[in-house]
């Protein structure tokens, strides 16, 4: 039953399908009334006293409400359209996506949509989803060191920050406005939560600041004099080609390489066994119909190239059009396209496994 709900409510045209059903029912009921009226010339056929008419109409309206509001807000069923973020743990992969609650005006036009964050936990050894949950609305997953912080906002202010615990399969609260938390030997009441200079901080009512350590995820006294800004010591750089602005040349330590990429963008960098790697997203043509990935190392070697055709073949999915999210972790390269997830060997580009949620 759960698989059916995920498949059905993940159908990309499910909204259109629901309204088409209602439209077809209205036409069918109207035609039925016209036929009845031709046969019953004395008494005009009326719908308001027919229980079956109102029952079917009510079910179709409830169907639309379930799809637009109830399911994405309270249940979260549905195959992902795309993933917004990937997080790698030791034996698990955590993927985040959104289901949107749609609100329309009286004319049926989209008035607003509320994003409802979901997460999916994939067992990297069994190659299957072992857990999923609807986190809620107004949440954003933020990369924080080697972790992902679940940031909850209200009126553009950070209301709380949490982290997902894979073993306990639940979110653990790190800080929430107006809560009191222990920091060292002190009890600190949280007056404000901010995110500045790539660091989460909490502030007390008297102005004391504490920052969230990226390694142990504990708050500690913030000393602005000793704050270290992140260094950009990357070997890799893409610069616009001298021949055309649509192409970018790859530089390694400011040295030009023979590689150029159409609409190129460095999407991930990773270090493994004292060797740095960069994953480059680029296009095969200006129509952007065949996005591709290229992996290069710090020695100027292009180790492999994957095109959209490769992902269609590896996932047995002919309808894929985009490469959505990528991640380099350990000795693996993770790629997502719509509901498909791929794990490739980092250095060879060989497919390790693939699943579709």
Query: Among 87-101, 123-137, 164-178, 229-243, where is mean pLDDT lowest?
Result: 229-243
What is the chain's mean pLDDT, rounded? Answer: 84
What is the pTM (predicted TM-score) of this model? Answer: 0.81
Q: Whose CA is closest to 303, among 275, 325, 339?
A: 275
Q: Give residue-wise pLDDT tens across range 255-311.
A: 888 898 998 899 999 988 889 999 999 998 888 888 999 999 999 899 999 999 999
Q: Which pLDDT belongs to residue 45? A: 58
**Rg of the chain over CA atoms, in angstroms?**
26
Q: Which residues pair with 201 in a beta bridge?
A: 194, 211
The mean pLDDT value for 64-80 works out to 84
pLDDT of residue 44 exceeding 70, the answer is no
Residue, of 131 and 51, whose pLDDT is higher: 131
Q: What is the pLDDT confidence band of residue 175, given thresholds at 50, 70 and 90?
A: very high
pLDDT surpassing 60 at residue 13: yes
pLDDT at residue 169 above 70? yes
Q: How is the chain split into domains, by residue range? A: 2-75, 85-226, 236-356
Tens-digit pLDDT profile for residues 185-217? 888 899 999 987 678 999 988 888 888 988 888
pLDDT at res. 221: 83
pLDDT tops 90 at residue 327? yes
Query: Of residues 129 and 224, which shows the higher confidence score?
Result: 129
Closest CA to 194 of 229, 242, 231, 156: 156
DSSP code at position 223: -
Q: Which of 57-71, 110-124, 290-304 has the highest mean pLDDT?
A: 290-304
**The pLDDT of residue 17:** 80
- Across the range 160-180, mean pLDDT stands at 91
> Distance between terminal CA atoms of the chain?
15
Pick the more confident residue, 99 or 122. Answer: 122
* CATH architecture label of 236-356: Beta Barrel (2.40)
CA pair distance 109, 106, nearest whole angstrom = 8
The C-alpha atoms of residue 290 and residue 250 are separated, in whole angstroms, by: 20
């Amino acid at each position: 039953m759960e698989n059916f709900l995920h498949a059905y409510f993940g159908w990309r045209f499910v909204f259109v399908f629901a309204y088409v059903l209602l439209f077809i029912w209205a036409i069918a009921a109207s035609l039925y009334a016209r036929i009845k009226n031709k046969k019953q010339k004395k008494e005009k056929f009326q719908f308001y006293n027919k229980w079956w008419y109102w029952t079917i109409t009510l079910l179709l309206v409830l169907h639309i409400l379930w799809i637009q509001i109830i399911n994405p807000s309270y249940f979260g069923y549905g195959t992902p359209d795309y993933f917004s973020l990937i997080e790698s743990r030791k034996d698990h992969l955590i993927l985040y996506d959104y289901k949107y609650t749609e609100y329309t005006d009286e004319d049926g036009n989209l008035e607003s949509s509320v994003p409802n964050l979901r997460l999916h936990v994939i067992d990297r050894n069994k190659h299957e989803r072992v857990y999923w949950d609807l986190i809620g609305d107004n949440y954003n997953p933020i990369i924080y060191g080697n972790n992902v912080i679940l940031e909850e906002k209200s009126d553009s202010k950070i209301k709380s920050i949490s982290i997902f615990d894979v073993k306990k399969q639940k979110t653990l609260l790190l800080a929430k406005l107006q809560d009191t938390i222990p920091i060292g030997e002190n009890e600190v009441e949280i007056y404000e939560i901010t995110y500045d200079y790539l660091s989460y901080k909490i502030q007390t009512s008297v102005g004391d600041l504490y920052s969230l350590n990226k390694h142990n995820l504990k708050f500690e006294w913030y000393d602005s004099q000793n704050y270290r800004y992140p260094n950009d010591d990357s070997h890799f750089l893409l610069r616009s080609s001298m021949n055309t602005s649509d192409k970018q040349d790859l530089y390694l330590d400011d040295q030009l390489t023979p590689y150029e990429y159409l609409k190129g963008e460095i999407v991930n960098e990773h270090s493994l066994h004292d060797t740095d790697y960069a994953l480059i997203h680029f296009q095969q043509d200006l129509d952007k119909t065949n996005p591709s990935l290229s992996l290069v190392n710090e020695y100027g070697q292009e180790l492999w190239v994957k095109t959209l055709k490769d992902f269609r073949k590896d996932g047995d999915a002919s309808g894929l059009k985009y490469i959505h999210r990528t991640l380099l972790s350990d000795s693996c390269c993770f790629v997502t396209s719509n509901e498909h997830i791929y794990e490739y060997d980092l250095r060879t580009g060989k497919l390790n496994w693939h699943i579709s949620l």
